[in-house]
A and B are shown apart, each in its own frame.
Chain A
Amino acid sequence: MRKLSMAEAIREAIKEEMRKDERVFCIGEDIGIKGGWGGAFGVTQGLSDEFGHKRILDTPISEAGIAGVAIGAAIMGMRPIADVEYGDFIFIAMDQLINNGAKLRYLSAEKIKVPMVMRVPVGTSGRGTQHAQSLESFFAHVPGLKVVCPSTPYDAKGMLKTAIRDDNLVMFFEHKLLYGAKGRKETIDVSMEVPKEEYLIPLGKADIKREGKDVTVIGLLRTVHTALSAAKELEKEGIETEVLDLRSLVPLDEETILQSVKKTGRVVVVQEDTPFGGWGAEITSLIAEKALDYLDAPPKRVAPPPTPVPFAPIMENYYVPNEEDIIRAVKEVIS
């Protein structure tokens, strides 16, 4: 089977859905310009050749406009895939997404639907503080938005196709270091075999990426990969780590989380998102409320410090949770 990078898998999902359904279109900055980049990370490269510029719609630098226009088009029955170049820019669109996108269905008592996907590249990648933030917790906080955070090309393709067909506004987060851009040394290679045949992955199903009986490490996006490599190290010391990839925060797969924690009795949550009020706190709270009796140690969070993302690589490395941080946390909950 052929291998696909994250960017290729996402592109393939978009292509397949656009071929199948003419209501699906892409809207964003620099996504279809001839001789351009195909979006900030090359994901939409080549799509305007196949689908034309009416369906790969380049916009001004107007994030509030992009989000609001996509919401309006979705209400009319189109199925937009909107795009911001860097997640950090989405703060400009927060009013549209949160006050309109997340609420118009509710206000209209469901006479309105907002079937759209908002693709959002997040995470540190050596670009400094305004091109680095993790944003999934902000959006998981807003009732009415689905929040998807895939860690692998296989998951990204299957979940994006589902998200495009979903009748709700789906925030689709992609980690910049996972795209598979060639030539950048900090990129994490997550390319893998992805079937050509159609498949869908439901939103709200977590995935056990590695089975283990001693401790559950919960992550999403990039931290799943950090957790997997930490698990390899821990194995050498005889610790069997279960790595649970949440894949989506809303809906949240409580059942799989609780099952795993009940099995291992120990849990470490790893997020690149900032700690205070972050999704890791929600997961540990859930476990405390519903599985406390099964725990052999208090749940532990591994998260960046409560600071902006710094630029210097040496500081950025300090900021982002790494294998050693996870190993240390696992040993703490096991001791």
Chain B
Amino acid sequence: MSNGGISKDKLIQMYTTMVKIRQFEDRVYLLFLQGEMPGTIHLYQGQEAVAAGVCANLRKEDLITSTHRPHGHAIAKGVSIKSLMAELFARKTGCCKAKGGSMHVGDMDVGMLPAIAIVGGGIPVATGLALGCKMMHTDKVVVSFFGDGASNTGAFHEGINMGAIWNLPIVYVCENNLYGASTHISKVMKIKNVADRATSYGIPGIAVDGNDVFSVYDAAKEAVSRAREGKGPTLLECKTYRRGGHSRSDSHRYRPKEEEEVWLAKDPIPRAKDKLIEMGVLTVERAKEIEDQTKREITEAIDYAQKSPFPKPEDTLLNVFS
């Protein structure tokens, strides 16, 4: 079977990223339930193919913005798992030095802005990053991740319109997981695809199966190339589903069981694994190795985080102004 033009290394890298995100989130969920972590969490299980498939097309110096559900994006963009875990544990060694927490993880050293937890709020900023990239004559590309809910905000409209009129090097990636908190998309949007909204801005709008990392990768590859070549933005809608609730305390009773069953059966990770094995890129043994290695890494990260110092109370006062 053909690799669809994707190198073997890239395929393994995407798969490993997905496994890493899943395991990270599963462990974090347990730690929260055990009361080991403060705050709240919005977990990414089920949507791994989006972060992994999109970010596999990015360079380290490219930039992303994220949302209140940012762990997957952070891992896929290369934020270190240790610094992520430490941030969730509110330690000084966290990627935001414990000023951010779960909803604001990010690290500019690897091109991820601290995540913006206001729905839609990151879209204009991402557009500005892209304007900066263009004005400074770089060939960097920006990806703005947001959910279906964000596509009903004014910031979505204002930001994407500006990106479109100025042909900015940006890809707007909508992860449509069907629910804004507990509200189904069909109650708040009268059209079928968020991607159709691209027509309003005169840019391409593509909807793909967001649980198929190969489809996501291919669509993102084209969108990122367009952006890098100066041809302007794309609105890429990835249709997906979160395996859990909106946040820590959400038991998602508003979702029909039948709907959940359909989507849970489309889990992106086993799908990718089966396909990669079929393609001869992956073996069952190699997959097990990846899982075990990832498990060790995450255990190390938890250990690192738990042994890291807390910030001093008065660190509150730092970094307000330069």
Contacts and interface: CB of A to CB of B under 8 A. Distances in A.
Given A104-B113, A107-B96, A112-B108, A72 B125 contact: yes
B165 interface: yes
A96 B277 CA distance: 46
Interface string B166-196: 0000000000000000000000000000000
Contacts of A333: none
Interface stretch (B21-29, B156-164, B242-250, B282-290): B156-164
Contact of B108 (A59, A92, A108): A108
A107 B105 CA distance: 8
Contacts of B127: 65, 68-69, 72
Given A65-B162, A73-B131, A77-B132, A146 B321 contact: yes
B113 A112 contact: yes
Contact of B158 (A25, A64, A73, A107): A64
B158 A167 contact: no
Given A96-B121, A108-B108, A68 B320 contact: no
Contact of A78 (B113, B122, B126, B136): B136
Nearest to A61: B158
A62 B114 contact: no
Contacts, number: 139
A268 B165 CA distance: 51
A44 interface: no
Interface string B265-295: 0000000000000000000000000000000
Interface residues of B, number: 41
B139 interface: no
B128 A72 contact: yes
Contacts of A168: 321-322
B125 A167 contact: no
A60 B128 contact: no
Given A73-B135, A96-B124, A112-B108, A107 B129 contact: no
A62 B135 contact: no
A269 interface: no
Contact of A68 (B123, B135, B165): B123
A25 B135 contact: yes
A54 B167 CA distance: 13
Interface in A97-152: 99-100, 104-113, 143-144, 146
Contact of B109 (A76, A99, A105, A111): A111
B125 A71 contact: yes
Contacts of B319: 105-106, 108-110
SS of B interface (majority) = helix
A197 B238 CA distance: 57
20 contacts: A59-B162, A62-B157, A62-B161, A65-B161, A70-B128, A73-B128, A75-B113, A76-B136, A78-B135, A96-B121, A100-B116, A100-B125, A104-B114, A105-B321, A106-B320, A107-B104, A109-B96, A109-B99, A112-B114, A113-B322
A31 to B, nearest CB: 15
Nearest to A75: B129
B133 interface: yes
Contacts of B221: none
A72 B124 contact: yes
Interface of A: 23, 25, 54, 59-60, 62, 64-65, 67-78, 92, 95-96, 99-100, 104-113, 143-144, 146, 167-168
A65 B131 contact: no
Nearest to B100: A107
Contacts of B321: 105, 144, 146, 168
A235 B19 CA distance: 79
Nearest to B101: A107
Nearest to B105: A107
B121 A99 contact: yes
Contacts of A144: 320-321
Most chain B CB neighbours (cut-off 10 Å) among A25, A70, A76? A76
Nearest to A69: B128
Given A73-B129, A146-B321, A168-B321, A60 B121 contact: no
Contacts of B113: 75, 104, 108, 112
A333 B116 CA distance: 49
B233 to A, nearest CB: 13
Given A75-B125, A95-B121, A144-B321, A69 B159 contact: yes
Contacts of A64: 124, 154-155, 158-159
Contacts of A62: 157-158, 161-162
